[in-house]
């Protein structure tokens, strides 16, 4: 590290209560974004599995469908309807997750701009 860079980073910046609050809010929002991204991936995987199951169910006469902890014999048409209903529910949940992610991204960008404006290169708020 050069002497100029070392001196530049040695300049203390006063961290106010408001700054600390912004950092904590950023941290909470960032953790929420990570959790929502994991949830969105799981939902996408489950939706794909439901599509595959719907395709497979169409070639049979009867299937065992899981309701809670019990397996129940259902006709293929009923099973396809049940799978479609579950798929629609998951797609709606995925849309809600994506909407929340969009809102959180805007809030994170605003906080990031405020924190970088005050702390510059002395704070790192990016993903690895």
pLDDT class of 10 with cuts at 50, 70, 90: low
Please state, in angstroms and rounded to a whole number, the distance separating the CA atoms of residues 51 and 17: 51
Q: Check pLDDT > 60 for residue 31.
A: yes
User: What is the per-residue pLDDT across 67-123, written as a single tens digit (0 to 9) for each?
Assistant: 889 999 998 889 999 999 999 999 999 999 999 999 999 999 999 999 999 998 888
Q: Domains plus CATH for the chain?
A: 17-122 (1.10.287.370)
Average pLDDT for 20-27: 95
Whole-structure pTM value: 0.79
Burial class of 35 by CB neighbour count within 10 A (0 to 12, 13 to 18, 19+): exposed
Q: Check pLDDT > 50 for residue 5.
A: no
User: What is the per-residue pLDDT across 35-71, written as a single tens digit (0 to 9) for each?
Assistant: 999 999 999 999 999 999 988 888 887 888 888 899 9
Q: Of 63, 59, 80, which is closest to residue 72 (Cα–Cα)? A: 63
Q: Check pLDDT > 80 for residue 7.
A: no
pLDDT class of 8 with cuts at 50, 70, 90: low
Question: What per-residue confidence (pLDDT) applies to 87?
Answer: 96
Which two tokens mark 41? 């991936």
């Amino acid at each position: 590290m050069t002497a100029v860079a070392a001196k530049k980073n040695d300049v203390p910046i006063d961290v106010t209560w408001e700054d600390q609050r912004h950092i904590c809010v950023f941290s909470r929002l960032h953790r929420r974004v990570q959790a929502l991204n994991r949830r969105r991936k799981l939902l996408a995987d489950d939706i794909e599995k439901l599509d595959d199951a719907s395709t497979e169910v169409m070639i049979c006469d009867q299937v065992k469908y899981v309701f809670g902890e019990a397996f129940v014999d259902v006709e293929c048409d009923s099973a396809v309807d049940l799978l479609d209903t579950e798929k629609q529910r998951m797609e709606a949940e995925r849309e809600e997750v994506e909407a929340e992610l969009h809102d959180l991204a805007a809030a994170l960008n605003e906080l990031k701009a405020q924190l970088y404006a005050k702390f510059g290169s002395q704070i790192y708020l990016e993903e690895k």
